[in-house]
């Protein structure tokens, strides 16, 4: 198919429109887009409701959605009480929504170290690396907080289900989980996530980094106050840090069941509204998991009794003020920007006045907006301009506001995402979000944008092949990832010939089976054979940042240039921005696309926070419907002839965009991609 869609956002009615309907199908649908351009069908805005959508980040009945010091102490004591009753000394962490550690303790007798293991018996990647259990508890708490929102409550058990080589895990000959690879986000080396305040008793703007990325080990839950997401709790009682290969096993057989029971006891009175639990949300017809534990598993009635001693942890928790055991959390999204997120326009002129709902921007926590639209630095003479970045971000956010969400309650509400636009070197030219987007998507949207830009460059193959560090593949070299990609695709010049690689396409060849989900097949060229693969050893994704990851465990400071600097990677700080081109790591699931000016690559866009098909659609349609504010050659999606879906490894065409069927709240268009 060819041609361009009629512009989605030029209709006069659209600027005032926001559709919030009453009933929708829970599953996101399976209309996988292959190659091709626009279907030629626009999205009508005629008859769309003009009533304003309720801001899902707003307090309920005026109650501030933040944790007080008393709240944190209550949560900690309830968890300590249950751990004591079970005879399972625990390490426990509580964080706010943007990742400030509000309290951390390690009970006498709790394991001080844990061994990373997937239970698969391999010895690659991070398998068998020892990690301090306080870091694991923080990672669990952050995962519960960052994956959740005021429309969905996800836990580390949910995370386990959606990152493995099969969805559902243990069900053979099924594709990888929808968030395959997300465990390597929020990294300590990220140039986005912030470092904890160095002042005892103080918090600072986030989102904060995680010491171990995302966790798939049960025992991490979100924490809600007055029905509003306020943070998370993480618990470690085991000497292993793992995933659960078969989540269909009985509750008691999972190694971290005690962790989950203790976390549930701790969060009693601060649970997610039951309707938001992951088990009320379905993806491709499969309901998600939240917890295997219930209050019937408690060893004692819930009580906030006993005592605990705060445990300072360099780089992540300086500790409470003298005489205290906890710190009060920040209020997410407050107009002063203290949390690191604020409504657009609260701290100065609105950056995106053309959006149909109040969008949110990132701040430094001290009243200054970050990542406002700015000129790209490369390529010279053709870089994305500030005006283009502003207009494209407006188009993308408005696309999100009319896209039916996949993972939110109540049903039939708009998708909640973070969007990031980068130039050719991965420099940020704009970053913003919808009001209630899960926090994890902020860092991940950068990863997606940078990955799409990097692998679409003509020097990507040379840069990867030049890396001298050890890789986890069979030859132990990064060059093998390039040679394998050339063998798989039949393109002897892949990653050097100027083909446009979307995140969907990169993900297609970054799975342990190719095509994804067909057991017994060899791996995708950026992945590993299944005997070497695990959620702790994913191939090039982990290899790029493994040394950064390990360094963080021993307190090595984060490099100023971001991730992929500690391995001798051949990805030096760029002259244009002073950071690596993958400065917060790469990502391997759907939701990003390169940006072109004619046939010239000028950057990329990344979207993250909702279903992967929604993320992919918003990136593609947001760019397709962008109205260029300036004269000259406009920026747009890649020309059809140079997209990666022109390749057919093994006789199977790669996908470029992956869109759900009938995705819009205000239109019956079936396949807009």
- In the prediction, which pLDDT does 239 show? 96
Q: Pick the closest to residue 80 from 253, 271, 306 (CA basis).
A: 306
- In the prediction, which pLDDT does 47 show? 29
Summarize pLDDT for 496-516 with one digit per residue, the tens. 999 999 999 999 999 999 999
Would you say 279 and 287 are in contact if contact means Cβ atoms under 8 Å apart?
yes
Reported as type and span, the H/E element at residue 461 is helix 460-465
pTM (predicted TM-score)? 0.91
pLDDT of 119 higher than 50: yes
Superfamily of domain 14-58+352-455+588-651: Haem-degrading domain (3.30.450.150)
What lies within 8 Å, CB to CB, of 628 at 6+ separation is: 388, 391, 634, 635
Q: How far is CA 336 from the centre of its chain?
A: 25
CB atoms within 10 A of CB 309: 10
pLDDT confidence bin for 20, thresholds 50/70/90:
very low
Mean pLDDT (whole number) for 97-123 = 96
pLDDT confidence bin for 12, thresholds 50/70/90:
very low
Written as one string, the DSSP assignment of 211-233 is BTBS--SS-EEEEEETTEEEEEE
Does domain 69-297 fall into CATH 3.30.450.150?
yes
Mean pLDDT (whole number) for 319-347 = 97
pLDDT of 86 higher than 50: yes
- In the prediction, which pLDDT does 249 show? 59
Mean pLDDT (whole number) for 591-615 = 97
Which 3-state string (H, E, C) describes 329-374? CCCCCCCCCCCCEEECCCCCCCCCCCCCCCCEEEECCCCCEECCCC
pLDDT of 624 higher than 60: yes
- If one compares 29 and 76, the residue with the highest pLDDT of the two is 76
Reported as type and span, the H/E element at residue 597 is strand 592-597
- In the prediction, which pLDDT does 276 show? 96
Least confident of 55-69, 129-143, 324-338, 381-395: 55-69
Would you say 38 and 1 are in contact if contact means Cβ atoms under 8 Å apart?
yes
- In the prediction, which pLDDT does 8 show? 36
How does 160-173 read in b/e, with b if 16+ C-beta sit within 10 Å? bbbbbbbbbbeeee
- In the prediction, which pLDDT does 657 show? 96
What lies within 8 Å, CB to CB, of 98 at 6+ separation is: 205, 206, 207, 208, 330, 332, 339, 340, 341, 439
- In the prediction, which pLDDT does 576 show? 87
- If one compares 76 and 577, the residue with the highest pLDDT of the two is 76
pLDDT of 29 higher than 60: no
Residue 220 in tokens: 């991490």
User: Percentage of the chain surpassing pLDDT 90?
Assistant: 80
Tell me: cis bond preceding 182? Omega within 30 of 0 counts.
Answer: no
Specify the 3-state DSSP secondary structure of 134: helix
- Environment class of residue 466 by beta-carbon count within 10 Å: exposed (0-12), middle (13-18) or buried (19+)? middle
Least confident of 38-42, 142-146, 353-357, 378-382: 38-42
User: Percentage of the chain surpassing pLDDT 70?
Assistant: 88
Q: Where are the domains of the chain?
A: 14-58+352-455+588-651, 69-297
Q: Where are the beta strands (DSSP E) in 174-330?
A: 220-225, 228-236, 240-242, 282-283, 286-287
- If one compares 131 and 671, the residue with the highest pLDDT of the two is 131
- In the prediction, which pLDDT does 255 show? 52
Summarize pLDDT for 231-277 with one digit per residue, the tens. 999 999 999 999 988 776 544 334 579 999 999 999 999 999 999 99
- If one compares 206 and 11, the residue with the highest pLDDT of the two is 206
Mean pLDDT (whole number) for 281-296 = 93
pLDDT of 43 higher than 80: no
Would you say 480 and 473 are in contact if contact means Cβ atoms under 8 Å apart?
yes
Would you say 137 and 114 are in contact if contact means Cβ atoms under 8 Å apart?
no
CB atoms within 10 A of CB 21: 13
Expressed in percent and rounded to 5, the helix, strand and coil fractions of the chain are 25, 15, 60
């Amino acid at each position: 198919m060819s041609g361009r869609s009629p512009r989605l956002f030029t209709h006069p009615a659209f600027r005032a429109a926001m559709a919030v309907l009453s009933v929708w199908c829970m599953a996101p649908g399976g209309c996988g887009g292959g190659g091709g351009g626009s279907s030629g069908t626009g999205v009508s805005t005629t008859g769309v409701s003009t009533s304003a959508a309720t801001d899902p980040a707003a307090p309920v009945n005026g109650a501030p959605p933040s944790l007080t010091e008393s709240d944190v102490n209550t949560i900690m004591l309830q968890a300590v009480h249950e751990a004591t009753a079970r005879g399972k000394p625990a390490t426990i962490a509580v964080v706010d929504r943007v990742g400030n550690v509000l309290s951390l303790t390690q009970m006498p007798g709790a394991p001080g170290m844990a061994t990373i293991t997937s239970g698969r018996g391999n010895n690659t990647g991070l398998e068998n690396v020892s990690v301090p259990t306080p870091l694991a508890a923080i990672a669990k708490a952050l995962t519960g907080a960052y994956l959740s929102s005021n429309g969905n409550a996800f836990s580390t058990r949910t995370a386990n289900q959606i990152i493995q080589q099969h969805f559902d895990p243990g069900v053979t000959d099924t594709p990888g989980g929808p968030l395959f690879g997300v465990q390597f986000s929020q990294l300590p080396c990220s140039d986005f996530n912030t470092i904890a305040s160095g002042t005892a008793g103080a918090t600072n703007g986030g989102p904060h980094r995680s010491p171990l990325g995302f966790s798939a080990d049960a025992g991490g839950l979100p924490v809600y106050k007055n029905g509003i997401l306020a943070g998370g709790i993480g618990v470690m009682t085991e000497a292993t840090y793992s995933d659960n290969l078969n989540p269909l096993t009985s509750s008691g057989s999972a190694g971290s069941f005690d962790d989950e029971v203790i976390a549930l006891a701790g969060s009693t009175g601060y649970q997610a509204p039951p309707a938001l639990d992951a088990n009320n949300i379905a993806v491709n017809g499969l309901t998600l998991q939240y917890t295997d534990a219930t209050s019937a598993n408690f060893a004692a009635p819930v009580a906030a009794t006993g005592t605990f001693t705060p445990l300072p942890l360099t780089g992540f928790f300086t500790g409470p003020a003298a005489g205290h055991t906890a710190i009060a959390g920040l209020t997410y999204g407050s107009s002063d920007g203290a949390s690191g997120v604020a409504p657009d326009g609260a701290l100065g002129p609105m950056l995106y006045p053309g959006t149909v709902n109040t969008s949110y921007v990132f701040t430094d926590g001290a009243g200054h907006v970050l990542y406002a639209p700015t000129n790209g630095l490369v390529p010279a003479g053709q870089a994305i301009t500030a005006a283009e970045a502003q207009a494209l971000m407006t188009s993308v956010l408005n696309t999100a506001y009319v896209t039916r969400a996949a993972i939110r309650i109540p049903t039939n509400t708009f998708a909640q995402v973070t969007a990031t636009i980068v130039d050719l070197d991965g420099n940020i030219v704009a970053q913003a979000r919808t009001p209630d987007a899960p926090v994890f998507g902020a860092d991940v949207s950068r990863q997606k944008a940078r990955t799409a830009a990097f692998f679409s460059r003509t020097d990507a193959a040379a840069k990867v092949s030049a890396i001298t560090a050890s890789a986890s593949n069979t030859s132990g070299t990064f060059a093998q990832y390039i040679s394998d990609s050339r063998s798989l695709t039949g393109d002897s010049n892949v990653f050097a010939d100027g083909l446009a690689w979307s995140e969907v396409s990169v993900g297609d060849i970054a799975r342990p089976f190719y095509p994804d989900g067909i057991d017994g097949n060899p791996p995708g060229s950026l992945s590993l054979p299944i005997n070497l693969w695990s959620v702790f050893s994913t191939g090039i994704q982990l290899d790029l940042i493994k040394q950064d990851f390990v360094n963080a465990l021993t307190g090595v400071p984060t490099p100023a240039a971001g991730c992929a600097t500690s391995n001798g990677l051949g990805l030096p700080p760029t002259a244009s921005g002073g950071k690596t081109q993958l400065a917060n790591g790469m990502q391997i699931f759907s939701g990003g696309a390169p940006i072109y000016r004619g046939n010239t690559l000028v950057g990329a866009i990344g979207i993250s926070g909702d279903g992967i098909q929604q993320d992919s659609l918003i990136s593609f349609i947001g760019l397709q419907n962008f109205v260029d504010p300036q004269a000259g050659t406009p920026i747009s999606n890649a020309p059809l002839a140079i997209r990666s879906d022109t390749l057919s490894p093994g006789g199977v065409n790669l996908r470029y965009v992956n869109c759900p069927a009938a995705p819009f709240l205000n239109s019956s268009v079936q396949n807009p991609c």
